[in-house]
Structures are given as C-alpha cells and as structure tokens.
C-alpha cells in the first residue's frame, strides 16, 4: 500500500471519523479524540449512562464535550485554501474536497465523485456507478432524457467525464 501524501494526511486529521467530512463545530471528548458536535451527540443519543468513544471505545461516566476552537480554526483555514481539482502524476483527476481519485459517477448530481464522497451524507442515498460505466452509457446513447437545457448541461458534464478516461 502506498504511503499517504501530506495532503491526504492533513485531510484525514481534519475529518470527523463518524461523518467522514471536515469537522463542523469540533469537540474533544475525555479520551482526547475529536468529533463534530452534532455527530457525537447523535451517536451518544440522549439517555446513555456510560459514554463510549466511537473511535477507541474508552468509556466516560459523564458527557464532557470540550469545544476545540483551534481545530475548528485550522479546518476553516484549510477549507479557505480552496483545494482545486488537480491532476496527479498518474494522470488521474482527483476530488477537490478529499484529494481522492474520481472513480465514480453520481447519476443524481451528474458529476464524477470519489469513494469518500460516495459514503458521505451528500451522496449516500444517490445512485452511483463506476465512472467508466457512465462514460460507456453516454457513448452508446443511453443517457437520460430531459429538457434541452438539462441535456446540454448533462452532455457537457459527461463529455468532460469521458475526457478523464
């Protein structure tokens, strides 16, 4: 397995292990792990007497969520850098948000996505197919019917998709 790039390592450190997105209102729990405030509250629910860390399983007797403002500031700084879609040396185009290869195609959003996006809340319930399959369907004319304006936009996205292959 190849070693992670510094950008991948940074993204991992700034992502919540529950939702896999950049931290939103990060909090630190007793064991020192960080989570989004909403994620850990949803995970723990309302009436759990012993609170277990979703990452290391260490338990705490009381719910003690300490806001981690410094981590929140770092997340906002990194988001502000506006990672642009870049081409890696292998020639793969990568996800702007996760720096992962764009290997899947979201049919609802009509856009290439990475495997992390596929698992995120934004695409979890969407129909996702391998990017090669979407490109092949477009090439043989199986793309969806819609208004001329919709189809022009979809055609442009799929043409861009085909150029990635």
pLDDT digits (tens, 9 = 90+) for 25-67: 999 999 999 999 999 988 888 766 778 899 998 888 788 899 9
Q: What is the pTM of this model?
A: 0.50
Residue (of 95, 84, 57, 3) closest to 105 by Cα position: 95
Say what the pLDDT of residue 35 is: 95
Please give the Cα distance from 95 to 129 (Å, whole number): 16
Confidence of residue 131 (pLDDT cuts 50, 70, 90): confident
Residue intervals of the chain classified under CATH 3.30.40.10 are 6-80
Residue (of 90, 91, 135) closest to 112 by Cα position: 135
Q: Which residue has the higher pLDDT, 143 or 20?
A: 20
* Phi and psi at residue 111, to the nearest 5°: -150, 150
Q: Which helix (H) or strand (E) holds 22?
A: none
Please give the Cα distance from 132 to 26 (Å, whole number): 37
Say what the pLDDT of residue 97 is: 82
Contacts of 70 (CB under 8 A, 6+ apart): none
pLDDT digits (tens, 9 = 90+) for 59-93: 887 888 999 999 999 998 888 765 444 444 455 67
- Angstrom CA distances, 109 to 51, 94, 123, stand at 38, 17, 9
Highest CATH level, class, for 6-80:
alpha beta
């Amino acid at each position: 397995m190849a070693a992670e790039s510094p950008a991948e390592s940074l993204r991992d450190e700034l992502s919540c292990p529950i939702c896999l997105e950049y931290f939103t209102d990060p909090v630190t729990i007793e064991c020192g792990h960080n989570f989004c405030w909403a994620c850990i509250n949803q995970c723990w629910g309302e009436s759990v007497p012993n609170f277990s860390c979703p990452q290391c399983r260490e338990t705490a007797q009381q719910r003690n969520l300490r806001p981690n403002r410094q981590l929140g500031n770092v997340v906002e700084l990194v988001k502000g850098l506006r990672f642009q879609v870049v081409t890696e040396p292998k020639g793969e185009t990568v996800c702007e948000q996760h720096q992962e290869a764009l290997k899947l195609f979201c049919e609802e959003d009509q856009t290439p996505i990475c495997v992390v996006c596929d698992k995120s809340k934004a695409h979890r319930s969407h129909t996702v197919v391998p990017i090669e399959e979407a490109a092949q369907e477009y090439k043989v004319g199986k793309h969806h019917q819609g208004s001329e304006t919709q189809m022009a936009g979809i055609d442009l996205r799929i043409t861009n998709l085909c150029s990635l292959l």
